[in-house]
Chains A and B, each alone.
Chain A
Amino acid sequence: AQTVTQSQPEMSVQEAETVTLSCTYDTSESNYYLFWYKQPPSRQMILVIRQEAYKQQNATENRFSVNFQKAAKSFSLKISDSQLGDTAMYFCAFTHSNYQLIWGAGTKLIIKP
């Protein structure tokens, strides 16, 4: 079975600090896609960053970057210069199909002023 595990239920950091959220996954597939989504109180899931498994280069989107370790099946999200607006639930997700995402349980991130 394919699973996604987020081991940090909640994290809290000061504004402007850097924070890393952890995610591990389990699959026997060789080609797949990984995602980090943000869910603010509005409930709408917002795509933060995605990674294609066949690409060794780690994805980067402005202050957001990932550390993708394929052999270890690890996909962590680093948020640099954290801002109050980054406060949200963050979900790691995985897919190798053409329609279904498999999700972790989420990490609640609180940015303190």
Chain B
Amino acid sequence: GAGVSQSPSNKVTEKGKDVELRCDPISGHTALYWYRQSLGQGLEFLIYFQGNSAPDKSGLPSDRFSAERTGGSVSTLTIQRTQQEDSAVYLCASSARTGEVRYGYTFGSGTRLTVV
């Protein structure tokens, strides 16, 4: 697509439920990044993909968080047994390849997750 697309735009879920957040990067971009933005804070790195592999998962806050990317395109971030502290905006970004972060990423508009 022309830009990075994220869905849903907003998600309200009950504590303990599982949620899936989707990111569709710019067509042809091989690198994809997930960040979390909690209220009043900067972005926190979660994970990145080069193709379908995730060389660095160190930012995932707990084993309730997982992510996958298939076909070198769409990525899904899954949060199991959601907790109230998971409430945040989840932002996805892509770049043509890893290493181009020095030129800046292209971001989507994020998914605002609210756990009630």
Interface string of A9-27 (1 = CB under 8 A from B): 0000000000000000000
A103 touches B42 (CB 8 A): yes
Asked, given contacts A91-B43, A99-B56, A103-B43, whether A33 binds B102 with beta carbons under 8 Å apart, the answer is yes
Contact pick for B110, options A44, A93, A98, CB 8 Å = A44
Interface size on B, residues (CB 8 A): 27
Residues of A near any B CB (own CB < 8 A): 4, 33, 35, 37, 42-47, 50, 52, 91, 93, 95, 97-106
Partner among A45, A97, A99 whose Cβ is within 8 Å of the Cβ of B107: A45
Question: CA separation between A64 and B112, bound complex, in Å?
Answer: 29
Residue positions of B touching A, CB distance < 8 A: 31, 33, 40-45, 48, 50, 55-56, 89, 91, 93, 98-99, 101-105, 107-110, 112
Closest 6 A/B residue pairs (Cβ): A103-B42, A45-B107, A47-B104, A98-B99, A103-B43, A44-B109
CB < 8 Å neighbour of B101 from A43, A44, A46, A95: A95
Q: Which residue of A lies closest to B55 (CB)?
A: A99
Output the nearest chain A residue to B89 by Cβ-Cβ distance.
Answer: A43
Contacts A44-B110, A101-B45 given; does A95 touch B89 at CB 8 Å: no
Interface contact A99-B98, CB-CB below 8 Å: yes
Q: How far is the CB of B45 from chain A (nearest CB, A)?
A: 5
**A33 to chain B: which residues have CB within 8 Å?**
101-102
Taking the nearest CB of chain A, how far is it from the CB of B107, in angstroms? 4
In the complex, what residues of A have CB within 8 A of residue B43's CB? 45, 91, 93, 101, 103
Closest residue of chain A to B3 (Cβ to Cβ) is A44
Given contacts A45-B93, A91-B42, A103-B43, contact A97 B101 (CB under 8 A): yes
Chain A residues with Cβ under 8 A from B33's Cβ?
99-100
Q: What's the least CB distance linking B26 to chain A, in Å?
A: 13
